[in-house]
Structure 1
């Protein structure tokens, strides 16, 4: 009953939704039927006010900008996982609207499963930027949680999610067939070691101090979406950021700050793949 009341009371701003996959379709269902859904290669209209919710794969972001009038770039709201900062900065979008979507959608058309956990009963999904309140209203209308954060707090939570997806996907790849839940339950020692390593590197590189209990928070979230499969995908946007920090340190004659992660990447032949095809985004700051 509470969710139904929220849906009735919350006004959802009409939006343009770029991407008709699981996330884009779910967001459209949370609207009032007056959104515009765009598919690959379709141009963003200039005269439709409101936010532009970008729900594509990371590798399609350049194309999204190509089909969006420059005057509307500040209305783009990025729902992508991973480290977007270098790409955003290269496009002059340092203060772009972003959303950390801590919800899971198993298949197209299903309602999102919220990432509410015992350690974060208020929910983990967060939004930043001028359209953050509009995004929160849309999610709240569907009974989902969403916090509106300032940039510093958002960045810290973004780094936590980057650590989560980088750690769980890599460990899952070492144990074929393992879901996120299996990784958390059966390989907790590996999870603990890798989270600790990645958190230390991220904290030093970005000058942040993570709140206590980061491992518990990330493992509790893993249990909330335990059915989610694991795979090392979109490497340059996820583990690629940590890989670049290792390359930078080694290039300066220092020790690899992520030796465990590097060893596991080599074990899976992922490093060799990168050397052959090279990262197409510059992660250096």
Structure 2
């Protein structure tokens, strides 16, 4: 359900659009800041559908306008991020909002965007043009999607206007949730791939022990590397999310942005004469001839 708020219509800024709820007995509105949306795939089109025509949708190679005030929602593949920066005026880089899965921190830091806006999108868009499905679970019925940065509130308002949940988090809380999602995608996709690419729900049900063992292993490695402590019951949360998106197929993709980060921790430890912090992960990658 969208969060609904009453506004004094005489004080509304023209920079926002307002949606009237047909179910409300009086005028009830939700504001959504117009945005530039980079990427016309499933997520980009879904985000555009939450606007009212004031958004600008850019395709591959299009340049981001310098004079458009508002967030720039980046919904491309990770490997296209360099080209997105090249098409964006330097003065607008801090307005970029990254919706990509995976470990973006090293790339963001290399571009001077350590405090860059990010979104953990725990919602699914099955096909182009279909409405997104919120990834609410039995352990997190309030929803898991989260945003961080300068434009976090604007993103949250847009998603809530589209019927999705979205929390606004500070840097530390966001980093923990980002790592949890990274652990989920690296674990469930690898376990599924080693069993022929079975769906996510099948992994959670039939290979539950393998999945939980890998989640625990990667969580321990990430906590040690980042010097943080995760909330208890991570395995329960991530298995619950697996059930919520049970139809997703599994495959190890975008290696350098996902499993590659954990494999780099293994390589670093071994080079220093230490034990591999992710032995299951390393072995299963080798079994699939990914490394």
TM-score by length of 2: 0.91
TM-score by length of 1: 0.93
1:33 is displaced (CA, Å) by 1.4
Corresponding residue for 1:160?
180
Task: State how 1:126-205 maps to structure 2 within 5 Å.
Answer: 126-205=146-225
Corresponding residue for 1:93?
113
Q: RMSD of the TM alignment (CA)?
A: 1.1
Aligned pairs, how many? 270
Higher share of residues assigned helix: 1
1:208 is displaced (CA, Å) by 1.0
1:126 is displaced (CA, Å) by 0.1
1:199-231 Cα deviation digits (max 9, x unpaired): 000000001111111000000001001111111
1:175 is displaced (CA, Å) by 1.1
Structure 2, gaps ≥5 residues long: 6-18, 21-28
**C-alpha distance in 2 between matches for 1:5 and 1:136:** 13
1:147-195 Cα deviation digits (max 9, x unpaired): 0000000000000000000000101101114111010011001001100
2:47 to 19, 27, 34: 27
Higher RCO (Cα < 8 Å, 6 or more apart): 1
Change (3 A) 1:4 1:160: closer
Work out which of the two has the higher radius of gyration on C-alpha atoms and give 1 or 2. Answer: 2
Structure 1, gaps ≥5 residues long: 272-285
Corresponding residue for 1:232?
252
1:4 is displaced (CA, Å) by 9.7
Corresponding residue for 1:70?
90
Corresponding residue for 1:39?
59
**C-alpha distance in 2 between matches for 1:3 and 1:255:** 48
**C-alpha distance in 1 between matches for 2:2 and 2:124:** 18
